[in-house]
Structure 1
Amino acid sequence: MGSVRQVQITFDCASPERVARFWCEVLGYVVPPPPDGFATWDEFTRSLPPEKRDAGFVCSDPTGVGPRMYFQRVPEGKVVKNRVHLDVRVGTGLVGAERVAVLEAECARLVALGAVRQQLLVADEENESCLVMQDVEGNEFCLD
């Protein structure tokens, strides 16, 4: 059996910094310090040729446990449903109305950040309730 490997989650998007900062707020992630020689990310960005500005951005789990997330600018927009999505685990261990209340509260927080509420999927015989959402560029994710 091979060893466990770290993974990076990569998002294709139109505005990497905007999407990265949204996900920092969702997950409690942080933006790493700017490269050596630059006091801020804005200063670093201004040093780049125009075509390289906002081409990519990173955020990471400050505890080092979660995966690094990389956001890269692509020319095409999103046109179909994601084949892979993130489940943001905010209701773990909760059931029924208590779970839905926690999902709805987190949904309200994320809508204020620019997310879009899609649909509450109500619990059935196999699954607990979850809430389908979209991030600031329309990428689907679930509050679970």
Structure 2
Amino acid sequence: MARSVQITFDCADPAALAAFWTEALNYQVQAPPGDFESWEQALEAMGVPPENRNDASAVVDPEGSGPRLFFQRVPEGKQVKNRVHLDVRAAPGLEGDERMAALEAEADRLGAYGATRLERHEPAPPLAAGHIVMADPEGNEFCLD
């Protein structure tokens, strides 16, 4: 039986990073448990003190097929380049100039949400279709592919 996967991000601001990734992936913040209308209500009922209410957040694929992303607050900042990164498939089926234009448009869109463009890799057929390396608001690298 195949196993499901959750991708976990260590970060300084789980709510803000979750908000960024909802935009990047067209995901949504995971709904609160039970009959609670908001996470604030749920955390209040659970007795979580206000200073700990941004210790974690999660986003999910609204269609239920993609992995859950979990964001947990840690005290230390990012130290080195990611050894694992996400490839955001922003131009499926496109090639050449059309592909790169779509990737540039997505890089600009995500820049408005706090992403940073790091570098562009031009297409080099037959194996490399071209991509743009980005960083999320906390510096985690990802590729627009």
Settle same-fold status: TM greater than 0.5.
yes
Aligned residue in 1 for 2:89 = 89
Aligned residue in 1 for 2:140 = 139
Q: Deviations over 1:85-115 (max 9, x none)?
A: 0000011221111011000000110000110
Deviation of 1:138 (Å) = 0.5
Identity %: 54
RMSD of aligned Cα (Å):
1.5
Deviation of 1:31 (Å) = 1.2
TM-score (norm 2): 0.91
For 1:37 and 1:52, how far apart are their aligned partners in 2? 21
TM-score (norm 1): 0.91
Map 1:95-106 → 2, pairs under 5 A: 95-106=95-106
Q: Which runs of 5+ in 2 are unaligned?
A: none
For 2:78 and 2:114, how far apart are their aligned partners in 1? 17
Aligned residue in 1 for 2:65 = 65
For 1:120 and 1:112, how far apart are their aligned partners in 2? 18
Aligned residue in 2 for 1:15 = 13
Aligned residues: 142
Deviation of 1:137 (Å) = 0.5
- AA of the residue aligned to 2:89: R
Q: Which runs of 5+ in 1 are unaligned?
A: none
